[in-house]
Each structure stands twice: as structure tokens, then as C-alpha cells.
Structure 1
Amino acid sequence: MILISICRAAFSCSISVRGLHKSISVQELGGWRNGSLGPGTYGQNWGVTYIPDSICVLKGSSVTMFCSYKYPTGDTVETVFWTKHEVGEPSDLSKDIDYKGKFHDLGDKQNNCTMKLINVTQTHSRRYRFRFITNKDRWIGQPGVTLSVTDLQVETPERVMEGDTVTLKCNTTCSLSNTSTFIWYKNGHVLTSKTMKNNELSLQSVSSEDRGSYMCAVQGHENLPSPAVTLNVVHAPEKTTVSVSPSGEIVEGSSVNLTCSSDANPPANYTWFKKNGTVTIGKEETYRINKISSEDSGEYQCKSSNQHGHQFSNSVSLNVFYPPRNTTVSVSPSGEIVEGSSVNLTCSSDANPPQINYTWYKESLTSPVGYGQRYIINNIQSSNSGLYYCEAQNKHGSQKTTANCLYNDEPPRGLSDDTTSHDPDTQDDPANQDDSASQDGELYANVSFSEPESSRRVSNIFDDDIYANM
């Protein structure tokens, strides 16, 4: 058996065995043509042109592959299709399930073989070739058009210190058109005041204000941005403040939360102080005072700190309100009280707010005998003898005085109470008083009389008890 190989330049090649002629494919001018090998020039007037032959597009976008083809005059085009297969018998791309709804043939059976792919993904990155068949022969355009599909990715430094200059890059896996213009977003808003060049964003002397979520996009494809990337700027605590909860008046016995907050990266640790930073009282973000009392009133301050520095908050003042307490009565003048003289009974109390209303009572009488901090008896008579007590009241409660009292053994003389008076400066209407926090017990001032010439007078005070024997 004799094997004869005949090759005509770079255009055709045939293999013959004596007595047998074999027909094979012929490659010429970038294409493959099938036909019988025999006399004549193969490849003339056959060809496919792709413009361009390499394309880079964004994931989710659409791409048009411009294409034209030619064939010998007199031939009639019977079949045209695009294929993605590199080896084996080419298959029709329009019948591929992965391209359903994505492939659009924009060509014809004349000379136009343009096609379009929509909403492309990375799986569409490959080489595509055009195939056509005439009534006499067939041709596939080589090497085809290469499609690369890329998404956008923002590149940022892993660690950024306050004061650094930072460059963010909008990266792709292939080269987009040289005319592509990049757009940058921070927290969903377009950046216009920063330095931008090509696919880079430059941030000069960064601060905590530059911290945020960044994205990039290509102009004209704003609907296809990159995934968001967070720029993490580390810095010392800033904007350290204290909030008080609940807001409004703080009443004794309630619970109060003091919360320290700051802008810090990494997050801050907190320290609480009372009296202008001289006494440490807590180490948590929230300092809680249960059953607050007047002793808790004062100035509070917190300090936020991390490894990059610290900052103190402004001081906040806690003013604890409480009802009257330690209510007492004093008698003036002290010592002997002589019939016909004047006597002042003064009621004192500790309360916050200090706007206290005072009401005076005499034992066995249902109605008050006076209002105001002082109760004055002018031209005192034996009929004024008895037990006297006061009630102190503010918006948060009230307290009555209480004591054990001594009476003079001498019988009182029957005089009226017309000689009594009270301090007009501190008078108040009892109808406006709040009884919600009154306390049991009463402190009495006992005033009793004997004959004016009698030298027997007694005045005693034991602990909180007040005795006035007249």
C-alpha cells in the first residue's frame, strides 16, 4: 500500500491511498470549509469577519457581537447559526437551554451574522463562532469571537488609620472599553467632591467621617454596581456624651440609668466618675442607680477610651427631688411665755424642691388655724393653751410634726383665739396641697397658762420633742 500526501501551500491538504481518494475539511483564511478535494482553489470567496474579535462586558449587561460573512456567488445560504462548541459537530446556540431567552439572532441569510446576548453572566464567558451552510458547501468562521464577562469589585486596604491617604480601586477581571467612566458611591449616595481618576478613588487624610460603605459602577450601567465594601477607619473616641433615662424630674426612690456613648473604632471602654472625675463609680457603658436618694445628687461624668486615645464627656447634673422630711417646730421666745406677750411658732423642713407649703393645726380643731412657715400668737391668753403642730408639703409629698407635750397644772382662763395670726409671706391655700406622701405622727407645741403672777414656768426639749409649758 502506498500513502501519498499532497498539500497545496497552506490552503488545502489531501491524503490518498492508491486507488482511493479521501475528502477532508480544508482550513483557509481563518475558516473551515467542508468539501471534496479536487481541482480548483478552495477558500476563495468564503469567510467570516467578527468586529471586534474580543469583548469584555459587565455581568448583567447585554452585548452585541457584530459579524459578517461571504460565500461564492451563485451559492444559496440554507442554514445559519452560532455555536459555542470548540470540538465535534457544532450545535445551534439558539437551541441551548442555557441561552434560552438570552440569545437573539440579528442577522440574515445574506451577509449579516450579528447576534446579541442579554443579561450575561460569567457562565457565558467563552469563544463563539458563526456557522453557515449553502447548497454547495459549508463554512465555520475561525477563530471566533471571545466574550469575557466580569463583575466589579472594590479593593480597599484592610486597615486604615485616621489621617492616612487611601486609594480605593474598582477592579475587573478583563479590560472594559477605554472610554468607560467610573462612578463612586458612599452609603448609597454618589460622590462628587472626592478625587477620582480612571478606576481609582483617592481619600486624603481620612477621618471617621470617611468611614462607610463604598460601591463603584460604570457610567451608563449604574444599575450594575459592585458589591458594597466597608471602609474601616480606626480612631480614638469622639463625640462622647451622657444620656439620662428616664428624662425629666428624678424622684427619690426611683431608678435612673446613665448611659455613655461615643464614636470610636475599635469600640470604647467606659469609666464613670462622680465629683468631676475624682471618684470612680462604674466601668460599664450604663451606670444604674436603684432607689435613688438625695445623696446621689451631683455631677456625673464618663470617660471613653480605646488603644488610640480617650475622651471625657461633659458633666451632667442629677437633681433628686423628695418630699418634706425632718420637719420640726420651734417656739420663740424660748423659756417662759407670759400672758399678753407674743409667741412665734416656726415650722422647718428639708425638701426638694424647697418650695414648701405649711399648714398649722391645733389639737381638737378640725380646721387649720393658720398657713405659712410661721404661726404668730399676739397678746397670748390662756385660751391659746393647747397642742399645736404643722404640716409641710411640696409636690412630692408631705410630713407632719409630732411630740409628747406637758400641760400646766393650772386651769386655763377662758379666752378666745382672736389674738392669733400667721406669716402672710408664706401663706398658701390648703386646697392646693397633695396628701399623697404624708407621714404618720405629729410634733406638737403645747402652750398653757397659769395666773400671770405665778412664777411657775416650764420649758423642756427632749430629742425631737418640743415642749412649751406656759
Structure 2
Amino acid sequence: MYSVLKGFVLMWFLKVTVVMLLILIMSPGVVVGDGFSVTFENPNPCALRGSSVEFRCSYEYPDGEVVNKTSWSKGAIKDGRWTRTELSRLPSYQSRVEYLGDQQHNCSLAIYDLQDNDTGYYYFRLDTHDYGWRSKGSVYLSLAELTASVYPASVRAGGNVTLTCKTSCTLPATIVWFRDGQPVDKAEFHARAEDAGNYSCAIEGQESMRSDPVALDVLYPPVSVLVEVSGPSSLAEGSSVNLSCSSAANPAADSYTWFRRTGSPGSSSLLQVGSGQVLSLPSLEPSHTGHYLCQARNPLGENNSTELLLLVGMTQKLNASVYPASVRAGGNVTLTCKTSYTLPATIVWFRDGQPVDKAEFHARAEDAGNYSCAIEGQESMRSDPVALDVLYPPVSVLVEVSGPSSLAEGSSVNLSCSSAANPAADSYTWFRRTGSPGSSSLLQVGSGQVLSLPSLEPSHTGHYLCQARNPLGENNSTELLLLVGMTQTDRLIILVGIGVKVFAVLVLPVIMAWAWRKDSAADKEESSPTYENISGSKCYGQDSRVIEEETTA
């Protein structure tokens, strides 16, 4: 009986001791937990796979304590128990984690290149000389996934399309879109044929991490219907030719019908002559001559090709003419194309092989060249070229000097003159200005395309110009200044003198006129009467949160 009572007392004593110890540990200000706390700015962050995330946090600790270590851990169930493992010990986090805080109050952490297994709970711990403390609360990181959608996925050209990008969590960010890898301006638009493709979305600033692509299919009737001929369009009787038809359409054209126009191109009299993508004419006759067109059709509609002219048993002879064949710049020019047969067609023109917009125009120097005509749709078969000659007086008259423009006495220099003109300039005259550049006193000093000055003297100093002439007129070059036997000081004096003359002639009169107007205004002001207002008048107007902590010694 005594031993049972002794055991009972001992058991009661142990229970009381344990309870007292627990109360002592949990009571504030008694053991390690007093004064320790951590604050997570965002305890539930969400980020994209492949991006980075920052856990911003701060911590407090009792006065007098010195923090000598901080660390972050990740929680996970291991062997049936919830355990925390420091990130520095997890190989998958190597070189992807950066502690942004310090050992004062900042405990922020960054994780880069986020991966699927980074999802979970993260805890903060700090150690002082006497204690180790870890947060009971945690940061839970979840990873977002971008999901792109296109509505409708299949749309007729002209219909409205809306692009939507969703994530598995809320991300305050701007969404950007790509079609086949190229940026897209708008998430809502009216569909065009070229809008078809694969669309993906991303967050602005993280464009490399895009959603899986989704397709947009744009449906439209046949467009760009084109007829091609297997041989020349001028064909001998009995020969054969194949005409093939192609188009862009979605869905693809499922019907091709061939027509020959029995009248003029503007007439509605079309004769059906075949069907299928290829029209075969195995034995040509003159009756096959005419304008052919192809009509392509799909469930959404139909469209016609441009008309192709076939000439059977005829030698197509186009005669181009230019009137006048030689014209002065600014004069009217008319291009005319005639055929050896009567068959309505649209004529197109070329100058030196390049298309010409108009058959009538005012001639410019650059309009000179060889002109040829062709029937639209038969551009490869052109007329023989005819020339247009555009006449104009000398332009772009240019003087070049064979040496520097500042020359020593006794040296030599050649001045050469060139110009653009048609006919070419047949006369060149050289002048030296004896006064200032604005003076009309020009002294003729030579003729010919080159002016030679074999033994320079100071008297040769001056402004030289060349006048080029042809039967249509003349034009002058800009003036070239030659300085013979002058030092830098002499040239400076000349320039200063010219500046003084310009000032006296142009600027001084303006200053004097301004001063006169100012004086006149002052006189008027002084002569104006002064009035006093002697009547009286009056004027009247009209989520951060603090996480719980647990302590460990």
C-alpha cells in the first residue's frame, strides 16, 4: 500500500513539474520568446514559373541581443513528420537564392528561376549568442501559369476576336500578346486573313516566359485569284495551251470556273468555257481568241481573276509613239500605242523597263528615255521602244579647282567647269568679279571648259564664276574665291572688311529705323492727356500582418 501511494505521489509531482515548466516557457518575459517577432509583407506571394520572387520581411529581437546568424528554411513532410530544412542545404536552391536582408532588422529573401517544386511554406530563423528563434508563421509561395485563349477560335474575316490571358493566381501586371512570335498591339480586333496564327501571352517585362500557344483560324472567300498561261499568249492555230488558276482562301477554293468574254472587258457577256483548276485548250482556233478569266469559289464566297488576253493565229504588233519625240523641259508629251487589230484592251507603259503612270505629262529632264507599251496582263510582250529626248539649258553648273584656293605667287592653277544640259553646253565663259559678290561688275577673263592661270599674281585674287551656254539658254556657277599671295592676316582683314560692309548696308538701317520708331512712340506717349479716376468704386468677388512565433532555446 505504501509503495502504491509513493508511486502515485511521484507521478503527481512529475505532472505538476511538467505543467509548471510549460507555463514558465510560454509566459512572456520569462524565456527566449520574449521580444522576438517577424513581419512578412506578403505571406502568400504568387509568381510565374521561370521568373523570380522576393519575400519582403522584417524582424525584431530583445534589446541587448546581437544577431549573429539568419536563415530561411522550407517546410516539408519527411518520414511522416513536418520538418524544416535550411535552403542552403537543399541542392535545388543552389545559386538561385539570395538573402537580401541583414543582421539588424531586414530579413528579405529572393528566389530566382522559379521551378515547380519551389511551391510551399518558407520559414525564417535567427540566432543570437544565447538563443535560437524561428517563426511559427510562414510565407506560402504558389506558382502561376499563364493560359491563353482566343474567342472565337475560328472566325470569318471581319468578325470580332478577343484574346484572353488567365493565371492561376492574381498577378497585378500588364499582359502582352504575340502572334507566331511577333508582338500584337491589341487584344481585341476585327479579324483579317493575315491575323491567322498561333497566339501566346506573357507578362510585360517577362516576355520570355509565355503561355502555350493557341490557334486562331480566319476564314475568308477566295482572294488574289491569278491566272497563269503555260506558253506565250500569242499562239499559232493548232497549238495547245493550258491556263491554270490559283487563289488564297480559307477553306481552300473547292470550285474553279472558266469564262471567256465575248464582248469588251466592261461587258457582262461572259461565256463559260470550262471548269477545274486547269483549263486545257489542246487545238487552238481563231475563235479561241479573247479575254479569259477564272472564278474561284469556296463555301464563303467567290472571286474572279483579272482577265487574260489570248491571241490565236495573230501576230501581236504593238506600235508605240511619243509626241513630240523631242521636247523642251516643261512641254507636253503624249504616248500612243496602236495595234494591228481591233481588240479592246488596257494599255500599260514602260520607260527603260520601269512602269510609267501616265500617258500624258509635262516633260522633265528625268523623263528622257526609251518608251514601250504592252497590253495589261501581257506585260512580257512589249512594243519596240521609242525614244523621248528632253531638251533643257545648262543646270548644276559647277567649278572645280585643281589645287588649293589659297595660292602662292608664281604658282599655277586650272579651273574646270561642268554642267548638265541637253544639248550639251557648247560655250563656257569665265568671269572674275572686280567688286563685292553683290556687284554686277564682272570682268571676262577667259573662255572654254578649262581656265588656266599659269603664273599667278596678286591681281588674280578675286571671285571667279563660269557661265555655261547651249542653244536653249545659259546658267552661271556659284562663285569661287581665289586668294593669291595672301597671308592668313590678309584674308582675315578682307573678311572683316566684307563683314563691315554687310553690317553697314543691311544691319545699320534696321537699327536706325527701330530707334526712330521708338522715339516716335515716346513722343506720342508724352503728348497724350492724363486722366484721373475721381469716382470711388468697390469690387466684390464670386495587407501586411505579424505572424505568430514559437521559441526554441
TM-score, scaled relative to structure 1: 0.52
SS at match of 2:47: strand
Equivalent residue number for residue 56 of structure 2: 66
Q: Does 1:232 align with 2:222?
A: no
Give SS of 1:18's match: helix
| RMSD of Structure 2 on Structure 1 (CA) | 4.1
Q: Is the 8 A contact 2:221 2:300 kept in 1?
A: yes
User: Residue in 2 aligned with 1:389?
Assistant: none
Deviation per residue, 1:207-262 (Å, 9 max, x gap) = 43543443433333334344443322223223322233567877889986544232
3-state secondary structure, aligned to 1:166: strand
Contact 2:255 2:298 in 1 (8 A): no
Residues 1:353 and 2:343 aligned together: no
Q: 2:286 aligned with 1:301, yes or no?
A: no
CA apart distance, 1:129 = 1.6
- Is residue 242 of structure 1 aligned with residue 227 of structure 2? yes
- The 3 A distance-change label for structure 1 pair 23 and 121 is farther
C-alpha separation between the residues in 2 aligned to 1:165 and 1:112?
Answer: 51
Q: Does 1:52 find its partner at 2:42?
A: yes
Give the distance between the partners of 1:118 and 1:45, measured in 2 at CA.
32
Q: Which structure 1 residue ranges, 5 or more long, are not aligned?
A: 5-14, 27-34, 195-200, 321-350, 356-470
Q: 1:92 to 1:242 in 2, by over 3 A?
A: same
Alignment of 1:3-402 (within 5 A): 17-18=14-15, 21=18, 41=30, 43-87=33-77, 88-157=82-151, 158-177=153-172, 180-192=173-185, 194=186, 201-203=187-189, 205-245=190-230, 258-276=243-261, 278-279=271-272, 281-284=274-277, 287=278, 289=280, 293=284, 298-319=290-311, 353=315
Equivalent position amino acid for 1:353 in 2: T
Contact (CA 8 Å) 2:295, 2:305: kept in 1 or not?
yes
Alignment CA distance shift 1:89-1:270 (3 Å)? same
Q: Which deviates more, 251-260 or 106-115?
A: 251-260
| C-alpha displacement of 1:46 | 1.3
Question: Residues of 1 paired with 2:231 and 2:39: CA distance?
Answer: 78
Higher RCO (CA 8 Å, separation ≥ 6 residues): 2
TM superposition shift of 1:36: 5.7
Find the residue that maps to 2:75 and give its secondary structure: coil
The aligned length equals 296
Change (3 A) 1:52 1:314: same
Name the aligned partner's letter for residue 298 of structure 2. N
- In proportion to residue count, which structure has more helix? 2
**2: CA distance between counterparts of 1:176 and 1:128?**
20
Contact 1:49 / 1:141 at 8 angstroms: preserved in 2? no
2:136 counterpart letter in structure 1:
Q
Moved more, 168-177 or 137-146: 137-146
- C-alpha distance 45-109 of structure 1, shift in aligned 2 (>3 A): same
Whether the aligned pair in 1 keeps the contact of 2:258 and 2:279 (CA below 8 Å) is no
* Contact 2:296 2:304 (C-alpha < 8 Å) held by counterparts: yes
Give the counterpart letter for 2:163 in structure 1.
L
Structure 2 gap segments, 5+ residues each: 1-6, 262-269, 318-553
Matches of 1:134 and 1:289 in 2, distance apart?
95
SS at match of 2:45: strand
Q: Structure 2: how far apart are the matches of 1:252 and 1:82?
A: 93
Equivalent pair of 1:64/1:117 in contact (CA under 8 Å) = yes
Structure 1 residues 215 and 253, CA gap change in structure 2 (3 angstroms) = farther
CA contact (8 A) 1:151 1:226 kept: yes
Q: 1:186, CA displacement in angstroms?
A: 4.3
- Asked if the contact 2:70/2:103 (under 8 Å) is kept, the reply is yes
**CA contact 2:67–2:129 (8 Å) conserved in 1:** yes
Q: How much has 1:111 moved relative to structure 2?
A: 2.8
- 1:45 Cα offset (Å): 1.0
Match of 1:467 in 2: none
Give the Cα–Cα distance (whole angstroms) in 2 for the partners of residues 16 and 114 of structure 1: 46
- Preserved CA contact (<8 Å) 2:57 2:106: yes
Deviation at 1:84, TM superposition (A): 1.8
* Aligned amino acid, residue 217 of structure 2: N
Matched residues, percent identical?
Answer: 30
Paired residue type of 2:47: V
Alpha-carbon separation, structure 2, partners of 1:114 and 1:152: 27
TM-score (norm. length: structure 2): 0.45
Q: Distance in 1 between matches of 2:241 and 2:90?
A: 70
Q: Given the superposition, is the C-alpha separation of residues 22 and 301 from structure 1 closer, same or farther in structure 2, using an over 3 Å criterion?
A: farther
Distance in 2 (CA, whole Å) between partners of 1:298 and 1:313 is 15
Q: Please give the alpha-carbon distance, in whole angstroms, between the structure 2 residues aligned to 1:228 and 1:315.
A: 42
Q: CA deviation at 1:37?
A: 6.4
Contact 2:260/2:273 (CA < 8 Å) preserved in 1? no
Structure (1 or 2) with the larger CA radius of gyration? 1
Q: Secondary structure at the match of 2:83?
A: coil
Relative distance call for 1:225 and 1:312 in structure 2 (3 A) is same
Shift of 1:176: 1.0
Deviation at 1:115, TM superposition (A): 1.3
Contact in 2 for aligned 1:3/1:18 (Cα 8 Å): no
Q: Contact between 2:295 and 2:302, CA under 8 Å: does it hold in 1?
A: yes
The alpha-carbon distance between structure 1 residues 104 and 233, as it changes in their structure 2 partners (threshold 3 A), is same
Structure 1 window deviating more from structure 2 (289-298 vs 256-265): it is: 289-298
Counterpart for residue 338 of structure 2 = none
